[in-house]
Amino acid sequence: MHGQETGGDVGCGGSGEPPGAAYASSDSRAQRARRLADMLRQQIIGGAFEEGRLPDEHALARSLDGSRNAVRAALDLLRAEGLITRQRGVGTRVVTAKYGHGLDRLTGLAETLHGYGEVRNEVRVAHLVAAPPRSALERLRLPDTSPAVHLERLRRLNGEPLSVDTTWLAPDIGTPLLERDLAGRDVFDLIEEVIGGPLGYADVTVHAITADRDSAGLLGIPAGAPLFAIDRLTHLPDGRPVDAESLRVRADRLTLSTALHRGSR
């Protein structure tokens, strides 16, 4: 039988309670649901279910070693995440594959999603600003009196909103972009066309936040839905920062993935 524990529990070091006590006393349904949801999410993202169709609760309960009640509660959590839909008679379906954005090298969104469909950008802001915010100038290491280019694009994959990307660009790099195909192409691509060679590197910081009213409206999700907020400062090969982005990305549609090596300390 699955789920049976061996007689020889080897305790909960450091909890100060007798072996097994912490486990037994706190193993509520909410807790089991959380654990099952994490396992199921991994399976869904890993492509374990053919054609995005999940087995029925009974079969899931068997393979995940949970009760049907706990499985149902786990499915409720994943439905709240926007990962699956459940419908009487139709069963449980994966809404759509989440798109995996690799964290192994610097890529633009359209480049990453090539193969998933067509990325189109609604250009919401595209200006040379004479007196940009001081904070943007500092980030780009520009003098106090420098102009900068402000871009904001709502990015759609196959028509569905995926992210809002706002950026400040150094004027020499950004100005030529204003005459190019901002609706159809990645900014990285366009910059490389302008500089005639590859970009250098980016410092990337990833936050998980919830959608404010404005982001929710733009992205077609409820306020409070999870988002990635990504700061990305991209540099030329010589180290000069030229592209200071803030991305807000729907977390029900995108995951970030990478392979990490243990390496040396």
> By CB under 8 A, how many residues form the interface with a second copy?
115
Candidates 50-58, 84-92, 130-138: pick the segment binding a second copy (CB under 8 A).
130-138
How crowded is residue 161: how many other Cβ atoms within 10 Å of its Cβ? 18
Classify strands 226-235 and 241-250 as parallel, antiparallel or unpaired.
Answer: antiparallel
Q: CA–CA distance from 79 to each of 29, 83, 86 (Å)?
A: 17, 6, 8
HEC sequence for 80-146: HCCCEEEECCCEEEECCCCEEEECCCCCCHHHHHCCCCCEEEEEEEEEEECCCCHHHHHHCCCCCCC
Measured from the CB atom, the residue of 89 and 115 that comes closer to a second copy is 115
Residue 55 is a binding residue for a second copy (CB under 8 A): no
| Options 3-11, 50-58, 84-92: segment touching a second copy (CB under 8 A) | 3-11
Q: Does 106 bind a second copy (CB under 8 A)?
A: yes
Shortest gap between Cβ of 82 and a second copy (angstroms)? 10
Q: Which of 93, 151, 139 is nearest to 235 (CA)?
A: 139
- By the rule CB under 8 A, 122 interacts with a second copy: yes
Residue with tokens 């306020």: 223
Contact between 234 and 242 under an 8 Å Cβ cutoff? The reply is yes
Provide the token pair at 177.
């972009």
Residue 105 touches a second copy, criterion: CB under 8 A: yes
Q: Give the shortest CB-141-to-a second copy separation in angstroms.
A: 13
Among 67, 85, 112, 255, indicate the residue that binds a second copy (CB under 8 A): 255
Binding residue (CB under 8 A) for a second copy from 18, 117, 198, 220:
198
The stretch near a second copy (CB under 8 A) out of 49-57, 85-93, 218-226 is 218-226
Does position 157 bind a second copy by CB under 8 A? no
Half-sphere exposure (Cβ direction) of 233: Cα atoms closer than 13 Å: 11
SS3 71: helix
Closest CA to 195 of 172, 166, 221: 172
8 Å CB contact between 249 and 160: no
Show contacts with a second copy in window 31-50 (CB under 8 A). 31, 33-35, 37-43, 45, 48
Note whether 200 binds a second copy by CB under 8 A. yes
Tell which one of 69, 116, 212, 220 touches a second copy (CB under 8 A). Answer: 212
Min. distance of Cβ 19 from a second copy in angstroms? 8
- Window of 29-37, 49-57, 88-96 that interacts with a second copy by CB under 8 A: 29-37
Q: Which of 85, 86, 95, 182 binds a second copy (CB under 8 A)?
A: 182
